[in-house]
Amino acid sequence: MSDAPERKHSEVADVDRSLYDFVMPEEGYERYDDGLTPDIVRAISAKKDEPAWMRELRLKALDAFHEMRMASNWGPDVSALDMDHISTYVSPQTKQARNWDDVPDDIKTTFERLGIPEAERESLAGVGAQYDSEIVYHNMREEVAEQGVIYTTIEDALHDPQWEPVVHQYFGTLIPMRDHKFAALHYAVWSGGSFVYVPAGVSLSYPLQSYFRLNASGAGQFEHTLIIVEEGADLHFIEGCSAPKYYEANLHAGAVELFVKDHARLRYSTIENWSKNMFNLNTKRATVGADAKMEWVSGSFGSHVSYLYPTTFLQGARSSCEFTGITFAGATQDLDTGCKVILNGADTTASVDTKSISKDGGVNTFRSSVIIGRRADRARATVSCSSLMLDDISRSDTIPAMDVRNPTASVGHEATIGRISDDTILYLMSRGCSEAEARTMVVNGFANPVSKELPLEYAVEMNNLIKLEMEGAIG
């Protein structure tokens, strides 16, 4: 099937990532020392001129980080991640802009190459763009602002007397500081991210989008996203991330806290395409009220190592959660992804549908947990995951845990692992497709349930990613 896969692959891989893989100079940037000390944490806090409670929270989190250990009995290896060689704060010398013309040229060029301003003009209600540790651009359409929607940075919200109490009330309540070691790290050094507030009954017809770009080498990005969707409101939030490739480890340990109130709906879409030197230890969590709906759409393509399990607490009666995800692991990647759903309300429903594709020695682990609490009468959950193996040097593990404590609940689970059947390829080739086209077609079809959930430009981006990755796989 592949006569000279290595040579062809490296060729394509070089071309492949060019869209994301470009470096801008870091000259004149404010960069804090590598490593992690109380002084650095205080410096970040002072720079942000934040309330005392936040500074205390950071210092407490730092202690927790030093105290806590990663579990030794599961998960990808993160020993190459040495915090003594990671700068936790790197900031371009620029003020946050509301107009792309006010963004420094190199940064503006970066986001233009990523297509952000164009998407903003065409199909978004608002955009935030983060470059390394700070948000460099933030803007929202006027008609959306007029409806009372708030879309800003957490830093700005903390400086606003109206919103500081709200941030204080919600920040860090869904993801506890001691959730895991890197959640603690996040709280110690968080910087940037978004604060979104959608008032009751307001429905946004276009999505909001935040884009996270990590340009600096040997650095970390620790943005915090806090979204509150009030009763009966409706929001689609999109998150994109990328970084150029370096040989030094980069770290992403963001946190996303989502509060979906009664009768509200939130769709949270992510396309993550970090470079393959990135350790992506991200934490996302949503709590969902009665009759409300949480929808996750998640595409993971990048990073060297990922630990990523968006978590949903279905607290209110009749609340529901849909999780649609795809993970593509190629050479040198070890991606441990999945989700967690906790069904606590009566008549709650959860449906999880994931796909994974492994090739070139990539490792995919689908890890999930579905917990049905004692009071979740008639709760229903279905988990379905399928894994596609594109060669015999890759790996794909499926580790779904279930814990059911209500006799009236029902849980269904199915998992399949296999490869593209020779018959399918033969059939498509007999209709005139090349083998490469045939395989790409099958893989795209496999990924289709995910891409059809994405906004059009992201679906196109995802299909392109798959196409490029696939070309690398075939000689």
Partner 1 sequence: MAEKLAANAATKLSHVNVPPAQTWNYLRINDIAFEVPAPVTKGEVLSRLPRLFDAVETGIGTEAASWIVSASGDSRYVEVKAGTHRAEPIVVDVDAAAGTVCDTGVLVREGAEATVVVAAHGTPAEAGTTAALVRIVAERRAHVTLVEVVALGKGSQHLEGIGIDAAEGAMVDVRQYALGGEKVAMGICTNLAGRKARLTQDMRYLARGSEQLDVNHVVRQRGRLTKSEIVTSGILADAAHKTMRETIDLIHGAKGAEGREIETVLVAGDDVVNKTLPTILCDEDDVAGNHGASIGSISPEQLAYLADRGVSTADAEALFARAIFDDAVIHAPEATSRNAALSRAELVLGTEIARDVAEGLGLDEGEEH
The helix (H) or strand (E) run that includes residue 182 is helix 181-189
The span of 247-255, 287-295, 312-320, 403-411 binding partner 1 (CB under 8 A) equals 403-411
Q: Does 414 bind partner 1 (CB under 8 A)?
A: yes
Least distance from partner 1 to the Cβ atom of residue 442, Å: 14
Q: Does 411 bind partner 1 (CB under 8 A)?
A: yes
Q: Which of residues 34-73 bind partner 1 (CB under 8 A)?
A: 71, 73
Asked whether the beta carbons of 246 and 213 are under 8 A apart, the reply is no
Instruction: With CA atoms as reference, report the closest residue to 303 among 341, 252, 268, 344.
Output: 252
Strands annotated E in 28-87 = 30-31
Phi, psi of 87 (to 5 degrees): -85, 130
Token pair in block for residue 266: 């939130």
> What number of chain residues touch partner 1 (CB under 8 A)?
35
Q: Does 442 bind partner 1 (CB under 8 A)?
A: no
Q: Does 10 bind partner 1 (CB under 8 A)?
A: no
Least distance from partner 1 to the Cβ atom of residue 415, Å: 4
Query: What totals of helices (H) and strands (E) does the chain contain, helices first?
Result: 12, 25
Distance CA 436, CA 392 (A): 17
Distance CA 18, CA 23 (A): 10
404, 429, 433, 436: which one contacts partner 1 (CB under 8 A)? 404
Sketch the per residue contact string, 328 through 367, with partner 1: x for CB under 8 A, - otherwise.
Answer: ---------------------------------------x
Q: Does 403 bind partner 1 (CB under 8 A)?
A: yes
Q: Does 243 bind partner 1 (CB under 8 A)?
A: no
15, 46, 80, 401: which one contacts partner 1 (CB under 8 A)? 401
Distance CA 54, CA 466 (A): 42
Closest CB to partner 1 among residues 10, 416: 416
Asked whether the beta carbons of 371 and 344 are under 8 A apart, the reply is no
Residue 367: which residues within 8 A CB-CB, separation 6 or more?
A: 309, 336, 337, 338, 399, 400
Closest CB to partner 1 among residues 27, 392: 392
Identify the DSSP state of 83.
Answer: G
Q: Does 80 bind partner 1 (CB under 8 A)?
A: no
Q: Does 4 bind partner 1 (CB under 8 A)?
A: no
Q: Does 412 bind partner 1 (CB under 8 A)?
A: yes
Binding site for partner 1 (CB under 8 A): 71, 73-74, 367, 369, 387, 389-392, 394-405, 407-419
